[in-house]
Chain A
Amino acid sequence: MTNGTPAIEAVDVSRSFGGVRALTSATLTASYGEVHALVGENGAGKSTLIKILGGVVKPDSGIIRIDGADVTLSGPSAARRHGVETVFQELTLFPWMTVAENLLVGSEPRGPTGLIQRRRLATNAEQVLDRFGVERIDPRALAGSLPLAQRQILEITCAFMREPRILFLDEPTSALAAHEVAWLFGLVRRLRDDGACIIFTSHRWGEVSSLADRITILRNGAHVATRPSFDEHEAVTLMTGRTIDRLYPNKPPQPVDADVVFEAEGLSDDVLQDVSLELRRGEIVGIGGLAGQGQRELFLSLFGARRLANGRVLVRGERRNLRSPADAIRHGLAIALIPEDRKTEGLMLPMSVRDNLTLPVLDRVSSGGVIRRGREQLLVGGAIDRLQIKTRDPALQQVATLSGGNQQKVLIGRWLLTEPDVLLLFDITRGVDIGTKHDIYELVVRLAAEGKALLYYSSETEEIAQLCHRVLVMREGRVVAELADAEADAESIVAASLREAAPA
C-alpha cells in the first residue's frame, strides 16, 4: 500500500432512484498499488457507487476526487480520460458484433484510405487476446455467440487492455469457473504491482480475503468500516447488521420411507443421456457437477420447457406427459430458475411485486374473472412475510426497483403460492448476498420439513453439500455418481465430477 494522495475518493456520495435511496452517504478511499474490495449485501449500494465513479450515473450530492482533485464525471468517457476503467456487472458487449470489433471499438486500425482494415482488426485483436492468455477465443466470432464465461473474460480483457490506472471490477467472478478466477486474480495482482488501483466486489468471501489488501464494507448505502482484513463472521455481522451464527441451517432428517412423489426415467435428448431420478416427500436432492453439464437442460425438461426425445416422468406414481410449463404447473410442479446472467428470467420487471407474485394463481384469487383484492392481499402478505421480501408497498413498487436478492425471493415466492409438491430450484442463490442466502437456505429446509420434494442445483458446490440429502453428480448430460448424505461433502462432489473427465 502506498501512502500519499489517494487514487480515487468518494466523499459522502448519495443517490436516489425514483424515491429509493441507493446510496445515503457512501465514502470510499482507495490508493495506488492496492486491491480494494467493496463488500456488502445486495442493495447495499456497491454497484451504484461503482457506476457513479465510472461516470455512468451522476450522484445527487457528494464529492469525487481523483488524484486528490475534485472532478465531475460527465460520462464514461470523462472517467476514462482520468484513467478509470470499469467492468460493470451488466456486461457491455455488443452481441452482434465480432470479438475483434468489441475489443477495438473506437481504436480500429485504419488503412491509407482512412477506412477500417478488417484483416488487421482481427490480427490486432488476436494479439491482444494472446497477450492476456486467452488465445482460444476467436476474434472473428460474434460476441453474443460466446458462452457467458467467455463473454465475461472478453469484457475483463477489454478493460485490462486499456492499461487503466484505476480499475473497477463489479462482480467479475460471478460467471467464472475456478481456473478462470485464478487467471483474473493473476492479472489483478500484476496490475497492482505495476502501481494501479483496483477496486472489486464479490459475494464470495474466500475471494475477498485472498485478493484484497483492504476491505470496505457498505450497508444500506452507507460506509460501515474499512480495514486490511476482517474475519468472516465479523464481516457478515457488519454487512447484514445482524448476527448469523450458522450460515447453513440443520436439514430435516432424510425421509427414507416417505412416498415417491416424482420420478423421471431415462430422460434423453441431444444433451441429456439416460437421466433417471426420484424424489420423496420431504427430500432435498442435489444436482452437482461442473457448470454446464446438462443440469440446466434437466431442470427445463422436468418443467416441460424442453422437448425430450425419450424418457418418462411420473408424478405421484402416474405417468404424465409434460408438454409445456402449464402442464407441469397443473401437476404440482414449480420451478425457480436463475439464469447465468441473472437477468431474472420470468419476472415482469416493470410490474409490481404483487402482480408478479400472483401471476400464476390469478384464477385462485379471482371470481368471475375479477380479481378479489382482499383475497390477493392475504396471499401476497403471506408470501412476503414468509420470504422476508423487503418491499415498501407490494402493490406499487416495481420489481425492477428491488435489489437482486429480493427479486430472486419474489421469483421463489411466486411459485410457493401455487402450493406445489415438487420444487425445482436452479441456482437460486446466484449472486445474492450472504444474508439473503441464509434466508433462502432456511426457506429450502423449511419447505422440505413441510413435506415438499426439492431438486436443488447450485453453482456453489458447498451449498449442495450442506443442504441436500443426496447428490446426483452430472457430467456430459449423464448422472455419473450418486452420493449419500454422509459422503456428500464438497470435495467428494468435485472429485466425482472430475473423476471420469479424462477420456477412457
Chain B
Amino acid sequence: MIATEAKVTPPVRARRPSAWERRRLAIAHSTPLLLAFVILFGLTGLYVVLFYRQLHSFPGVFEWTSVVNTAVPTVLVAIGQSIVVVTRGIDLSVGGVIDVSNSLAATQMHPGLGSMLAWSLLILLLGACCGAVNGALVAYARLQPILVTLATLAILQGVAIRILPEPGGAIPTSYSSALASSSGPWSILFVLGVALLWLALRRTSIGVRIFAIGNDEYAARAHGIPVRQVKVITYSLAGLLAAGSGLFLAASTTAGDAAAGDVYILTSIAAVVLGGVSFFGGRGSALGSIAGAFILTVLTNVLYFAGIDPLYQSFFQGLFLFIAVLLGSLLGRLVRVRS
C-alpha cells in the first residue's frame, strides 16, 4: 500500500479503444438487430425460390403489395410493443385497442374527407388514451404490466363486441385505397415513416428516458427522471400505434371485425422477440421489431408455398420462432466470448 501511494497515477490505466475496436464492439452490440435482418432476407429469398418452383415466375407487384399490406398492421403494433418492452413492461391490451379501433372505423366512418379524417384522429386519440390508462395503472398504482393490460384487454374486447357484434361494416373505398392501396406496395411508406420516427425518438430526451428506465428504474429515479410520467407516455405511444394498426387493418380488409386484433397480441410479442429487443429491458431497437413483423408475414407465405397443410402452420411458426431465438442466444454468446 505504502509503495503505491507515493506516486499518484491516473485512476484508469486502460487506453481508449481504437476506431476499429469500437466498430467491432458496435457490431457486437447490435448482433440481435443484424440477425433479424439476415433472417428476413434469407426467408424472403426462400419465398422467391419456392414461389418460382411452384408458379415458374417471380413474385410480382401484386404479391409484394400483399406482403407489405399484411405486414403493416403488425409493424405498427410491434413498434409500440417494443417501446413498452424496453421499459421492462409488456402490453397485452394492444389486441383490444385494435379490436375497438377496427370496429369503430367499420361502423362510423363515412365517405367524405371530413368524416374519414375526424374519425381517424378520434380513434388514434382513443388508442392513446387507453394506453395512458394502462400506463397510469402501471406507474401510479404500481400494478404489474401483465395484469393491468390483461384486464384492459378483456374490457376493450367487450367494448368492441358492443360496437360491432358481428364481423362486417364497411370502410369507404377511398380510405382503403389511400392507406392500403392494392395497386402497389405504397404502404411501405408507412413503415419507412415509423422507422424514421423511431430513430428520431431515440434522439429525444423522452427516448433516452425510456431506455434509462428499462436499464435501471432505481437509477433513473436517482438521476431525477420522472419515471411515472415517462411510463404513461410509453404506454400511450403503444396505444396510439395499436389504434393506427387497427385503422390500417380496417382499410386493407375493407371491413371490420371485433376480434381482428386478438391475433396481434401474440404476433406483436413474437415480432419483438425476433427483433432482438431484450425482455430484461433497456436494450434493443424497434427496427428489429419491424424486421420481425415482416419475418412473420413472409413466413406464412413460405409455409404456404412449401405446401404445408394450413392446419400445421402454427406448429411450424412456433418451431421457427424457437429456432430463431435459440440462434440469437447462441450468436450472442459467441460474440460476447470473443469481444
Q: Which residues does A use to contact B, with CB under 8 Å? A: 54, 56, 75-77, 80, 86, 88, 90-97, 101, 105-106, 108, 114-118, 133-138, 140-142, 145, 149-150, 153, 176-180, 182-184, 186, 461, 490-491, 494-495, 498
Contact = CB atoms under 8 A, between A and B. Distances in A.
Given A106-B224, A494-B4, A94 B282 contact: yes
A95 B10 contact: no
14 contacts: A54-B222, A91-B219, A96-B211, A106-B224, A116-B203, A116-B208, A117-B203, A136-B10, A136-B14, A138-B17, A140-B22, A142-B25, A179-B9, A491-B3
Contacts of B215: 94-97
A461 B208 CA distance: 42
Contacts of A108: 205, 208
B110 interface: no
A494 B216 contact: no
B203 A92 contact: no
B204 A116 contact: yes
A196 B281 CA distance: 38
A92 B223 CA distance: 8
A491 B5 CA distance: 12
B16 A115 contact: no
A136 B8 contact: no
Contacts of A135: 10, 12, 16
Contact of B8 (A101, A105, A141, A182): A182
Nearest to B215: A94
A327 to B, nearest CB: 24
A93 B200 contact: no
A200 to B, nearest CB: 17
A304 to B, nearest CB: 20
Contacts of B224: 75-77, 80, 106
B208 A105 contact: yes
Contacts of B209: 105
**What are the 9 tightest A-B residue pairs by CB atom distance, in nearest-first order?**
A77-B224, A92-B219, A94-B215, A115-B203, A116-B203, A183-B11, A92-B222, A180-B11, A136-B12
Question: In the complex, which of the residues A90, A133, A178, A498 has the most CB atoms of chain B within 10 Å of its own CB atom?
Answer: A178
Contacts of A95: 215-216, 282
B319 interface: no
B311 interface: no
A9 to B, nearest CB: 22
A96 B215 CA distance: 6
Contact of A178 (B4, B17, B204, B216): B4
Interface in B11-61: 11-17, 22, 25, 29
Given A93-B219, A134-B11, A178 B5 contact: yes
Contacts of B204: 114-116
Contacts of B16: 135-138
B144 to A, nearest CB: 16
Contacts of A80: 224
A434 to B, nearest CB: 18
Contacts of A92: 216, 218-219, 222-223
B142 interface: no
Chain B, interface residues (CB within 8 Å), range = 35 or more
Contacts of A149: 11-12
A274 to B, nearest CB: 23
Contacts of A490: 1
A115 B22 contact: no
Contacts of B15: 136
A134 B9 CA distance: 11
A182 B218 contact: no
Contacts of A153: 11-12
Contacts of A54: 222
Contacts of A180: 11-12
Interface string B268-312: 000000000010001100000000000000000000000000000
B216 A106 contact: no
B326 to A, nearest CB: 22
A182 B3 CA distance: 13
A183 B10 contact: yes
Contacts of A498: 3-4
A90 B208 contact: no
Interface in B255-270: none
Contacts of B11: 133-134, 149, 153, 176, 179-180, 183-184
Contacts of B5: 178-179, 182
Contacts of A142: 25, 29
Contact of B200 (A75, A115, A134, A186): A115
B212 interface: yes
Given A134-B10, A134-B11, A105 B22 contact: no
B141 interface: no
Interface in B193-226: 200, 203-205, 208-209, 211-212, 214-216, 218-226
A116 B29 CA distance: 20
A176 B9 CA distance: 13
Contact of A186 (B8, B211, B226, B282): B8
Given A133-B10, A145-B25, 16 more contacts: A76-B221, A76-B222, A90-B218, A92-B218, A92-B219, A95-B216, A97-B211, A106-B224, A135-B12, A135-B16, A150-B14, A153-B11, A153-B12, A183-B8, A183-B11, A461-B1
Contacts of A491: 1-3
Given A92-B216, A136-B14, A141-B17, A97 B282 contact: yes
Nearest to B214: A96
Nearest to A184: B11
A80 B226 CA distance: 14
A465 B69 CA distance: 73
Contacts of A91: 219
Nearest to B211: A97
A136 B214 CA distance: 28
Nearest to A111: B203
A94 B9 contact: no
B30 to A, nearest CB: 12
Contacts of B200: 115
Nearest to B202: A116
